[in-house]
């Protein structure tokens, strides 16, 4: 009799736990589905979890820069910038400082790096050369004051790619696809 009651109690307990487990699994499924689905305001955009990841990445980058600041009335940040853009940066900082109602503002004081410091590579690109620069960057970013092979790639890459697709029909299809992409570039961004 005691064994039968114990058996009924255990079976009921197992059934309750299975019901709770199924409910929890259903809850997790629905939450995961909600996180992976596109955002309700932008059905063609990123999922909620991807938006959160991008937000956290941006916040981390901001805090990484802010952690380089020193406390006090003036924040001091060590950054690299192109020498040719120094006047433009100073002008933007001055115009933004003039718009703030309090006395806070930003000033760019050029502090030249030590002699043996290696500055980061800064490569100017435009809409045409950006794709070729990305191809070069997959193999490695050139060091500061090193020759940039992107110019060479800009000239030779389309030619060599064209040799790979020598068939006129295939080439025509690729040409039409490329023209369509160029024509619809703004809407595809």
Blockwise average pLDDT, block size 10, the chain, 189 residues: 89 93 93 82 77 89 78 66 86 80 70 76 84 86 83 82 72 86 85
The pLDDT of residue 166 is 65
The pLDDT of residue 22 is 94
Burial per residue of 101-112, b for 16 or more beta-carbon CB atoms within 10 angstroms, e otherwise = eeeeeeebeeee
8 Å CB contact between 134 and 108? no
The pLDDT of residue 35 is 83
Token pair for 82: 């192109």
The pLDDT of residue 59 is 92
8 Å CB contact between 86 and 110? yes
């Amino acid at each position: 009799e005691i064994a039968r009651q114990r058996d009924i109690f255990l079976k009921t307990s197992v059934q309750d736990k299975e019901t709770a487990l199924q409910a929890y699994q259903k809850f997790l499924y629905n939450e995961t589905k909600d996180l992976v689905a596109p955002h309700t305001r932008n059905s063609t955009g990123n999922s909620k979890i991807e938006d959160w990841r991008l937000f956290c990445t941006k916040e981390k980058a901001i805090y990484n820069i802010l952690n380089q600041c020193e406390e006090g009335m003036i924040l001091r940040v060590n950054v690299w910038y192109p020498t040719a853009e120094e006047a433009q940066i100073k002008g933007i900082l001055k115009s933004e400082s003039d718009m703030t109602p309090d006395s806070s503002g930003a000033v760019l004081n050029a502090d030249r790096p030590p002699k043996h410091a290696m500055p980061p590579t800064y490569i100017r690109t435009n809409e045409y050369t950006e794709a070729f620069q990305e191809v070069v960057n997959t193999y490695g970013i050139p060091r500061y004051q090193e020759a940039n092979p992107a110019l060479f790639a800009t000239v030779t890459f389309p030619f060599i790619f064209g040799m790979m697709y020598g068939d006129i029909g295939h080439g025509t299809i690729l040409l039409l696809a490329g023209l369509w992409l160029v024509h619809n570039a703004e809407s595809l961004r």
